[in-house]
Chain A
């Protein structure tokens, strides 16, 4: 039988993993840059050149700050409803930011022939690889948050039925 301490440890572990994942995603995306010389002009790539990646960095930073704060007050029961609702809002933020960044990264990698947009990953491979790493980390963070939400819901429901 799972006691209350095991449940708390599991939740704490999920939050810690989410914190590491969001922090990693933020840092890796912010430090991703590359530049090449193509036919007389320099082709530079940074996260700030694309609004979707800026949104990704901001969302992951907010999520990591929130994870850090909630890690320190996860034992108090009076905040539990607020924490669950905020968890959901942050999960939504994370999911939408990962999705947006992935959509633009897909165009960067494969291009969009109908719109005449050429892929850029051939020229700035280092930026592309680091951005991919950040996206994977962000995706894992979103999954952690979803698991956390479903676990808290299941936990409450099980107790209530």
Chain B
């Protein structure tokens, strides 16, 4: 295979623009991951619920106070939105690079850069998911030892939307993990033939 390019090794510039079937699998996985993380970001970023609570009754008119639950009130959810936003950006960037970036010379490090970036995104997304999951768990069940009341019985829609965003981000994280494993195995497999190296 080294003689096909006239002696030029394949790791410099990728001359063939056509994608092989295995690349289509990776590309479609990245697309699904993009949708999942983008959905998680958007659903959590728009997560807000306002309840009006009757606090007191003055004469005949009840005094109402509006109590709002927003995602910005919990730092873990803010981190969740940021992490999933960055994961979506990474997925989008990888898709663009895969489709349109064949002319750029990566000096042979293309697979390594992709694998390392994938790994960093998996780390970020898993951190965001972990924090948001357990904060949601405290919100759902409360913590009787710390005297923290649950809030999900008063803000049903907020909790439901939050759970939806969490599930979407779990799916995105799982697919990101699969993509990362595929990138790493592409890196470790000796696909290129090297002149003189066993």
Q: Give the B-binding residues of A (Cβ under 8 A).
A: 44-45, 49-52, 55, 80-81, 84-85, 88-89, 91-92, 95-104, 106-108, 112, 114-118, 120, 146, 149-150, 153-154, 156-157, 160-161
Contacts and interface: CB of A to CB of B under 8 A. Distances in A.
Contacts, number: 126
Given A85-B184, A95-B127, A107 B133 contact: no
B109 A161 contact: yes
Contacts of B122: 88, 92
B130 A120 contact: no
Contacts of A102: 131
Interface string B139-173: 10001011111010000000000000000000000
Contact of B11 (A50, A98, A108, A161): A161
Contacts of B119: 88, 146, 149-150, 153
Contacts of B143: 49-50
Given A81-B185, A84-B188, A157-B187, A115 B148 contact: yes
B146 A117 contact: yes
Contacts of A106: 75-76
B112 A52 contact: no
B135 A96 contact: no
A45 B145 CA distance: 7
A85 B181 contact: yes
The A interface is mostly helix, strand or loop, or mixed, namely helix
Contacts of A108: 146
23 contacts: A44-B145, A51-B134, A80-B188, A88-B181, A92-B177, A95-B126, A96-B130, A99-B126, A101-B134, A104-B134, A107-B135, A107-B148, A114-B70, A115-B139, A116-B149, A117-B149, A156-B187, A157-B109, A157-B111, A157-B112, A157-B115, A160-B108, A161-B11
B50 interface: no
Interface string B12-30: 0000000000000000000
B123 A146 contact: yes
Interface centre among B70, B146, B149 (most CB of A within 10 A): B146
Interface size class of B (residues with CB under 8 A): 35 or more
Contact of A154 (B112, B137, B180): B112
Contacts of B116: 150, 153-154
B60 interface: no
Interface of B: 11, 69-70, 73-76, 79, 107-109, 111-112, 115-116, 119, 122-123, 126-135, 137-139, 143, 145-149, 151, 177, 180-181, 184-185, 187-188, 190, 192
Contacts of B79: 99, 103
Contact of A99 (B109, B130, B185): B130
B135 A103 contact: yes
Nearest to B133: A100
Interface centre among A95, A96, A99, A115 (most CB of B within 10 A): A99
Interface centre among A44, A88, A114, A115 (most CB of B within 10 A): A115
Contact of A103 (B76, B108, B180): B76
Contacts of B115: 153, 157
Contacts of B148: 107, 115-118
